[in-house]
Amino acid sequence: MNKIKTLIVDDEVLAREKVVIFLQEEEDFEIVGECTNGMEALQAIHESYPDLLFLDIQMPGMDGMELLRNIDVQKIPCIILVTAYDNYAIKAFEYHALDYLLKPFDRERFQMTVKRVKEQMSLYSQGDHNTQLLTYLKESLPNKNYLEKVVVKDGGKIFFVKTKDIEWVESAGNYLKLHVGKTIHMVRETMNAFEQKLNPQEFVRVHRSSLVNIEAINNLESWGNTEFIITLNSGHKIQSGRSYHSSIRQKLQI
């Protein structure tokens, strides 16, 4: 196994030093940087593409949660939460991060985390952790006004398409195809931007180029270990992407 590139993000010097000292005892890890806030970490992640992030949540400026919301799903590392408090975050990350360390932690507890990191990285793709974590982050944001209808201009006509009537969304170059019954509406927008406008409890991203209305799903069939064949109520079938496997399972509670 290649060395696990690790980034340490914490505004406390002593906290960072403790992680560094313990990691230096582990030959499978390579420390690629130390950061004191989210902005520094965002830049470091962009430059070094770490495999693992030891992250403090409460930091001045851009904190840990905001940092994670600003990282692209393809770049976000596996996460180890390191914090002295914030029980809500700890409870959440028990299910959505690889592990967490509650300050002050000792060498034995740290070694347990290291062991788990090695095991998980050898068993699962990083994308599984990424999408599961991002799903949680999106749904933990404060309530906002999600898009309820899409205005579509087609020739001289203007259509008002209710989002609840959209069966699925498909990328088509610089456009999106909105599948509504037997009708396809075209809108000029990126998939990521459109997804952010939709209620995450109503739609699930199943592929980099496909977004599905949860109510439109009839059944799923496993395809290999990390993919699904999704059959919609209309009978149309969509193959999911590997990196979306965990988020689909979580969203559909399967």
CA distance readout (Å), 54 to 18, 36, 100, 176: 11, 12, 9, 37
Last residue of a domain, one of 140, 175, 205: 140
Coil/strand/helix, residue 150: strand
**Residues 200 and 94 reside in one and the same domain:** no
Q: Domains in the chain: how many in total?
A: 2
pLDDT of residue 4 exceeding 60, the answer is yes
**Residues 211 and 92 reside in one and the same domain:** no
**What is the domain extent for residue 237?**
149-252
Q: Whole-prediction pTM value? A: 0.52
Closest CA to 40 of 18, 21, 20, 16: 16
Tokens coding 139: 């749904």
Q: What is the dihedral of CA 121, 125, 129, 130, to 10 degrees?
A: 130
Q: What's the rounded Cα separation, in Å, for the pair 224 and 4?
A: 27
The CATH number given to whatever domain includes residue 49 is: 3.40.50.2300
pLDDT at 12: 92
**Residues 11 and 135 reside in one and the same domain:** yes
Coil/strand/helix, residue 98: coil
pLDDT at 70: 74
**Residues 172 and 229 reside in one and the same domain:** yes
**Residues 109 and 127 reside in one and the same domain:** yes
**Residues 17 and 121 reside in one and the same domain:** yes
User: 83-92, 149-158, 169-178, 239-248 — which is least confidently predicted?
Assistant: 83-92
Tens digits of residue pLDDT in 98-122: 788 888 899 999 999 999 888 877 7
Q: What's the rounded Cα separation, in Å, for the pair 43 and 71?
A: 10
pLDDT of residue 129 exceeding 60, the answer is no
Q: Is the peptide bond before 104 cis (omega within 30 degrees of 0)?
A: yes
Q: Do residues 132 and 124 lie in contact, with contact meaning Cβ atoms separated by under 8 Å?
A: no
**Residues 185 and 123 reside in one and the same domain:** no
Question: Confidence band (pLDDT; 50, 70, 90) for 133?
Answer: low
pLDDT of residue 137 exceeding 60, the answer is no
**Residues 110 and 205 reside in one and the same domain:** no
| Mean confidence (pLDDT) of the chain | 85
Tens digits of residue pLDDT in 74-103: 667 888 988 876 664 555 565 456 788 888
The CATH number given to whatever domain includes residue 156 is: 2.40.50.1020
Last residue of a domain, one of 140, 158, 176: 140
pLDDT at 244: 87
Last residue of a domain, one of 140, 169, 199: 140
Tokens coding 56: 């403090």
**Residues 136 and 153 reside in one and the same domain:** no
**Residues 82 and 171 reside in one and the same domain:** no
